[in-house]
Amino acid sequence: MAISQDQVFDIVNMPGPDGQYQADWLVWDPVLISGFVSDNANSTIIDIAQDLKQVPDEFSHSFAVALDAVRQPDNIPHAIAVHRLNEVLVWIDSFGGRFGQRQSSRTSALVRRLILSSPDANWTASAIVSTIAMSEATLRRRLAEEGMALSELIADVRMLCAMQLLQSTHLPISRIALDVGYESASRFAIRFRRRFGFAPSAIRGHQRRGNEHPKTALSEPGI
């Protein structure tokens, strides 16, 4: 799956019969994207995402060696890593899609990044517009055009942060609730369940039992 920048999506890790799974992800620096030149007249810029479907073994090999270059920055020269990443871009282009640089970020993505910088802050419309130099009316209008409401956007970013903290730390759930802007652990739990379909405590249970639960991400161009 090739996903353009500023997309919010859930990834559900589905373990195989042996209880294991593997998920690999490549992200391109904007400089590499802007420098890529397509030779395929039939390819179009990927607006949201493109399903690469059944890819040949040669593509899988190119992806693997590019991933290896990113994982071994001390052993593989930077120029080689760039070459390998560009090779994957050529493959995607051959499938009819390419990443493009947006002239301006979507308002929702801009607000998401702002809230991510301090999810526990008291984010109000006035606080946000004072930071991004935009009127409150314009902010709400642009978010509406993108199918977003400000209150839901703030809550979603906080839930994204909470999910990451639950999965990557041993902090108590009550502390995580505070860290993402909820003084009430019960209100936090209600909002978390509404977003993901299960209670925050289920994540800690997941670490013991191995059941699958989603992760949420905000993308840069990548596959």
Maximum distance among all Cα pairs of the chain, rounded to whole angstroms: 55
Q: DSSP for 48-89?
A: SEE---S--HHHHHHHHHHHHHHH-TTTS-HHHHHHHHHHHH
- State which amino acid sits at residue 143: L
d(CA 6, CA 124): 22
- b/e per residue 124-148 (b: at least 16 CB within 10 A): ebeebbeeeebeeeebbebbeeeeb
3-state secondary structure 102-125: CCCCCHHHHHHHHHHCCCCCCCCH
pLDDT at residue 101, as a whole number: 67
CA-angle at 154, arms to 151 and 155, nearest 5°: 85
Q: What are the C-alpha distances in Å from 133 to residues 79, 81, 127, 138?
A: 39, 38, 10, 10
Identify the bridge partners of residue 10 per DSSP, sorted by sequence position: 216
pLDDT at residue 210, as a whole number: 44
pLDDT at residue 219, as a whole number: 55
- State which amino acid sits at residue 183: E
d(CA 87, CA 33): 12
What φ, ψ does residue 73 adopt, rounded to 5°? -65, -25
Helix (H) or strand (E) holding 216: strand 214-218
Whole-prediction pTM: 0.62
pLDDT at residue 216, as a whole number: 52
pLDDT at residue 128, as a whole number: 94
d(CA 221, CA 6): 8
CA-angle at 107, arms to 127 and 216, nearest 5°: 95
Mean pLDDT per 10-residue interval, the chain, length 223 residues: 81 80 85 88 88 91 94 90 94 92 72 92 93 92 91 93 89 95 94 91 61 52 62
